Amino acid sequence: MVESLVVQTKLASRRRCRKNLPLGDQSVQTTSRPMTSAEKRELRSHVDHWKGEGRIWAGMVLFIIFAAAFAILGSLVRFLFSFLAEVAPIFQERPVNVIAFACLMVLFYAWLRRRLWASPFSRQMKADLAAGVATAHIVDAEDSILVQEHEDEGPTVFVKTRDSETLVFAGQELDIYTKRGFPWSRFEIVESPTSGFFLGLRRLGPPLTPLVVPGPIPWSEVKEYRDVFRRKWLRLDASFEDIKKKRLQTAN
């Protein structure tokens, strides 16, 4: 019980649109449980960018930045060595310059890689993986809206909980769950507790019959909860009825 309260307190101020879920809320309950093997694999694939799914793109980004830095630093280092050659004759030797430049680039590469992949968020994910504990938000839903994918942004789902809270889910990964019948009348949102990394949705009840409307959603509305495309879900201040009215007006 104490651990559950601590987890809920940590979630209190994560995002502007995502407030802490009320303690004792009957429609959304937050608990902690051990991660499943699949959840650990999902988190591990994002902890290690070089061995996970993103290693190709990560390597390309690092290569582009390193190549640009190589060109820029090369000019600066040549100027520096020409200055040092007047002070220390040893820098007039080309092999010495090459070795010194190579050492500088190795140090720069190590610093750049650490800055890119050893971010605070990465350290939080590593801590979550080591702990092996997941945060589960159990949602009781009574109504929903499914906004169909317009291009390749994925579907968007608005859910009204039993206590009239409004949740939004979006992103390409959501398409996997809508094909499995999401939204459901009762389901579980699984995250890592410290980093808040989305680990998936788990069905606990029968499917709802959502109001299905075509996309896209106007940017003037999306920008209010744009973090959902990174976080995968958010809790909104807007009422479900207002959102439903706007979607019906857009559809007509």
Contact 192, 128 (CB under 8 A): yes
- pLDDT over threshold 70, residue 204: yes
Q: Which range among 118-127, 138-147, 187-196, 220-229 shows the weakest confidence by mean pLDDT?
A: 118-127
DSSP string, 171-201: STTHHHHHTTT-SBSEEEEEE-TTT--EEEE
Q: What angle in degrees, to the nearest 10, is found between the helix axes of 94-117 and 55-87?
A: 140
pLDDT digits (tens, 9 = 90+) for 75-101: 666 666 666 666 666 655 666 556 766
> Is the model more confident about 44 or about 114?
44
Listed as own residue / partner, the contacts of 33-39 with beta carbons closer than 8 Å and 24 or more positions apart are: 33/133, 33/134, 33/136, 34/132, 34/133, 34/134, 35/132, 35/133, 35/134, 35/199, 36/134, 38/200, 39/134, 39/190, 39/199, 39/200
Residue 174 pLDDT:
93
Determine what percent of the chain is predicted with pLDDT higher than 90.
38
pLDDT for the residue 185: 96
Give pLDDT, residue 135: 95
Q: Are 186 and 139 in contact (CB under 8 A)?
A: yes
pLDDT of residue 20: 41
